[in-house]
């Protein structure tokens, strides 16, 4: 029986290994992590991450051919293939601070592999890392190997949260990069045979190590760039009276452009896009390519601009102040169908409103009060460190913030509502009931274009939708970005 061990039981490692276990009954998978609470949660009925379909998959194979453990050394030692799926935060100090990837956790995982291995192993890079990390890891492993042979592969994961299980069941492609030597090719084939249990052969692409590593950064940069492009258009639409949804639809009909990833929003979030672009920028700068670095930096600048533009719109519409005004925040996760808040635009929007002394009442169907409080006090980039190193959340952390478990409760007595995540339930709320319980004039700022703005206007709301023609009210109160 082939044995797989995955170091890192996070958003990538957990679901990916669960699907490998489900699809490959002849393989034993152990997912290990240094975080005891995280492993305990994987072994319980309350999994540490919310992901549609994940519970089912885990239930089907947990205890049969997938196990979750904190005994990193034992399971790494026993494995034939070791996946490394640890966090790679952005550096906050030293060389490359604010841009470069901090490979501390990766290096520590690599040293553990070198220390405990007694047999040859394939080591698979699953976390997104800078180009040429595999080479560095190879050096650590071979210089500490005691004669054991390691083959390094890069096998970046392209799943998106909220659709992780679907994406893993039917990936657009699986990418495997390895050395061009006979041993490297043999390792590629071994990993390919794992995925071949369920992925059609023509969707498994093989390449060299660096191309695989760079493809992941490039894919995320291209996706984020589409969002920043459409968000830049949204500002122009508001200024000219065009409708960004119609523009997106029209351009998406061009088969060279395609219809996906063209939804204008309050900004993209998630653990990958910003981090990977910063990383790309840093690599370009290090390679003497400042023009290329500047090009990609702009994607992040527009994303920041979009978030501050939204805050400015809220404040300017409400007579240039939200001081002591109650604002309901509907949605805090970075997208629907996940409880993940890493780099969610809601953090910057809430901080912006709090900066103007607003009182926030937040509701998200999947995010806990503790998480929200922690996010609002945490320093930039701190979120990507293991949980036990993150700041605890004192109950009184941000006093002007309260968290409720119901959209109606959150909006009661509010002056305005900001919709920051596109949860389906926000489309079908009883907005008449909500309007009746709010202060007047009552505002809705739809950062995800989920509500029917005309219907809400008929109820009496003043509605701002990203990239759509503005109400007379909003035209009279121009936002200054
Ligand atoms: C373009 C648009 O495609 C068309 O829809 C619009 O109506 C007019 O402008 P055109 O300029 O005729 O059409 O040719 P196009 O095929 O778009 O190529 C434009 C330039 O981009 C060419 O120099 C082409 O060589 C270059 N190109 C195109 C690339 O460098 N790489 C590519 O992948 C595609
Ligand atoms: C992304 C990539 O899609 C995935 O391939 C990679 O493996 C990890 O990073 P993820 O961050 O989970 O996945 O979610 P994604 O669906 O890409 O959304 C990222 C952000 O962009 C979200 O905040 C989302 O709301 C936003 N978004 C997405 C838009 O604002 N508009 C869109 O049209 C699409
Ligand atoms: P991703 O979104 O890439 O999956 P996460 O932050 O969700 O990232 O998960 C990474 C996991 O890796 C965390 O649970 C963290 O505790 C774990 N981890 C980090 N370093 C090590 C290590 N050296 N050994 C085992 N687990 C580790």
- Does 388 or 293 have the greater pLDDT score? 293
Are 310 and 236 within one domain?
A: yes
Angle CA(309)–CA(383)–CA(354) in degrees, nearest 5? Answer: 40
Domain count, the chain: 2
Locate the ligand 2 atom nearest the alpha carbon of residue 261 and give its number: 33
Boundary of a domain, candidates 150, 180, 199: 199
* Per-residue model confidence (pLDDT) at position 381: 77
State the burial class of residue 1 (Cβ atoms within 10 Å of its Cβ: 0-12, 13-18, 19+): exposed
Of residues 250, 173, 182, 265, the one with CA closest to residue 219 = 173
Please tell me the least confidently modeled range out of 35-44, 141-150, 261-270, 447-456.
141-150
pLDDT beyond 60 at 391: no
Query: Distance, CA 253 to ligand 1 centroid (Å)?
Result: 17
Boundary of a domain, candidates 153, 174, 199: 199
Are 286 and 427 within one domain?
A: yes
> SS3 for 275?
helix
- 337-357 confidence digits (pLDDT tens): 999 999 999 999 999 999 999
Is 423 within the bounds of a domain? yes
Is 224 within the bounds of a domain? no
Of 272, 284, 350, 418, which residue is the catalytic one? Answer: 272
Are 188 and 337 within one domain?
A: no
Locate the ligand 2 atom nearest the alpha carbon of residue 161 and give its number: 12
Are 289 and 432 within one domain?
A: yes
> SS3 for 317?
helix
* Per-residue model confidence (pLDDT) at position 476: 85
Is 10 within the bounds of a domain? yes
- Does 391 or 378 have the greater pLDDT score? 378
pLDDT beyond 80 at 397: no
Are 296 and 193 within one domain?
A: no
Is 212 within the bounds of a domain? no
ipTM of the complex: 0.95
Is 51 within the bounds of a domain? yes
Are 380 and 312 within one domain?
A: yes
Query: Distance, CA 225 to ligand 2 centroid (Å)?
Result: 11
For the segment 227-236, the average pLDDT, to the nearest whole number, is: 98
Is 49 within the bounds of a domain? yes
Q: Which residues are annotated as a binding site?
A: 8-13, 33, 38, 86-90, 127-128, 161, 272-275, 342
Give 479's pLDDT tier (boundaries 50, 70, 90): confident
pLDDT beyond 80 at 1: yes
CATH classification at residue 443? 3.40.50.720
Report the alpha-carbon distance of residue 139 to residue 123 in Å, rounded: 13
> SS3 for 92?
coil
286 counts as catalytic:
no
> SS3 for 348?
helix
**Ligand 3 pocket residues where CB is under 6 Å:** 7-13, 32-35, 38, 72, 85-87, 105, 108-109, 127, 271, 386
- C-alpha torsion angle, residues 193, 198, 202, 204 (rounded to 10): -50
Is 227 within the bounds of a domain? no
Report the alpha-carbon distance of residue 425 to residue 434 in Å, rounded: 14
Q: The pTM is what?
A: 0.95
pLDDT beyond 90 at 241: yes
Are 266 and 398 within one domain?
A: yes
Please tell me the least confidently modeled range out of 44-58, 120-134, 310-324, 383-397.
383-397
Residue-number span of the structural domain to which 384 is assigned: 232-476
Locate the ligand 3 atom nearest the alpha carbon of residue 14 and give its number: 4
- Does 397 or 430 have the greater pLDDT score? 430
Let me know: does 125 contact 134? Beta carbons within 8 Å.
Answer: yes
pLDDT beyond 70 at 462: yes
Boundary of a domain, candidates 157, 180, 199: 199
Are 190 and 275 within one domain?
A: no
Let me know: does 25 contact 15? Beta carbons within 8 Å.
Answer: no
- Does 381 or 102 have the greater pLDDT score? 102
Report the alpha-carbon distance of residue 217 to residue 172 in Å, rounded: 17
* Average per-residue pLDDT for the chain: 94
For the segment 433-454, the average pLDDT, to the nearest whole number, is: 98
- C-alpha torsion angle, residues 299, 305, 311, 316 (rounded to 10): -150
Of residues 86, 82, 42, 49, the one with CA closest to residue 66 = 42
Angle CA(332)–CA(337)–CA(341) in degrees, nearest 5? Answer: 35
Is 204 within the bounds of a domain? no
Cite the DSSP H helix spans in 378-467: 407-411, 431-436, 453-459
- 147-204 confidence digits (pLDDT tens): 899 999 999 999 999 999 999 999 999 999 999 999 999 999 999 999 999 999 999 9
Give 456's pLDDT tier (boundaries 50, 70, 90): very high
* Per-residue model confidence (pLDDT) at position 389: 59
DSSP H or E segment with residue 392: none
pLDDT beyond 80 at 327: yes
Are 88 and 30 within one domain?
A: yes
Give 54's pLDDT tier (boundaries 50, 70, 90): very high
Query: Distance, CA 47 to ligand 2 centroid (Å)?
Result: 22
Sign, CA torsion 291/297/299/304: negative
Are 169 and 27 within one domain?
A: yes
Are 244 and 188 within one domain?
A: no
C-alpha dist (Å) from residue 27 to 16, 65, 431: 14, 7, 51
Q: Considering the chain, what percentage of its residues have pLDDT values greater than 70?
A: 97
Give 128's pLDDT tier (boundaries 50, 70, 90): confident
Are 245 and 113 within one domain?
A: no
């Amino acid at each position: 029986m082939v044995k797989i061990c995955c170091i890192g039981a996070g958003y990538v490692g957990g679901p990916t290994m669960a699907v490998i276990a489900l699809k490959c009954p002849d393989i034993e998978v152990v997912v290990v992590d240094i975080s005891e609470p995280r492993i305990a949660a994987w072994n319980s009925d309350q999994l540490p991450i919310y992901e549609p379909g994940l519970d089912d998959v885990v239930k089907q194979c947990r205890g049969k051919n997938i196990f979750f453990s904190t005994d990193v050394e034992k399971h790494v030692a026993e494995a034939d293939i070791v996946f490394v799926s640890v966090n790679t935060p952005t550096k906050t100090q030293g060389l490359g601070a604010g841009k470069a990837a901090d490979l501390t956790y990766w290096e520590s995982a690599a040293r553990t592999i070198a220390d405990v291995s007694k047999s040859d192993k394939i080591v698979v890079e699953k976390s997104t890392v800078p180009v040429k990390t595999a080479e560095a890891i190879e050096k650590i492993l071979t210089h500490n190997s005691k004669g054991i042979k390691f083959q390094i592969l890069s096998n970046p994961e392209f799943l998106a949260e909220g659709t992780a299980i679907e994406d893993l069941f039917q990936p657009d492609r699986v990418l495997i990069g390895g050395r061009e030597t006979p041993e490297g090719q043999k390792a590629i084939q071994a990993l390919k045979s794992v995925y071949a249990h369920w992925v059609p052969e023509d969707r498994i692409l093989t390449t060299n190590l660096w191309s695989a590593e760079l493809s992941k950064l490039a894919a995320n940069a291209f996706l984020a760039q589409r969002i920043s492009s459409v968000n830049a258009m949204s500002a122009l639409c508001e200024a000219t009276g065009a409708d960004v949804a119609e523009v997106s639809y029209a351009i998406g009909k061009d088969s060279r452009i395609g219809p996906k990833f063209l939804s204008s929003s309050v900004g993209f979030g998630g653990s990958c896009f910003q981090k990977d672009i910063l990383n790309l920028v840093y690599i370009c700068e290090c390679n003497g390519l400042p023009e290329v670095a500047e090009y990609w930096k702009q994607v992040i600048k527009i994303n920041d601009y979009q978030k501050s533009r939204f805050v400015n719109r809220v404040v300017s519409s409400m007579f240039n102040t939200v001081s002591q005004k109650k604002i309901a925040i509907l949605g805090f996760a970075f997208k629907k169908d996940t409880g993940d808040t890493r780099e969610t635009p809601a953090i910057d929007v809430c901080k912006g409103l709090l900066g103007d002394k607003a009182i926030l009442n937040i509701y998200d169907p999947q995010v806990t009060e503790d998480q929200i409080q922690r996010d609002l006090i945490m320093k930039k980039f701190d979120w990507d460190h293991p949980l036990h190193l993150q700041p605890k959340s004192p109950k009184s952390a941000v006093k002007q913030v309260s968290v409720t478990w119901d959209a109606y409760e959150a909006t009661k007595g509010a002056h305005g509502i900001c919709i920051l995540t596109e949860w389906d339930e926000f489309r079908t709320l009883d907005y008449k009931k909500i309007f009746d319980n709010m202060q007047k004039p009552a505002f809705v700022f739809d950062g995800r274009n989920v509500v029917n703005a005309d219907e809400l206007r008929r109820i009496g709301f003043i509605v701002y939708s990203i990239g759509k023609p503005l109400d007379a009210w909003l035209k009279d109160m121009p936002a200054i970005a």
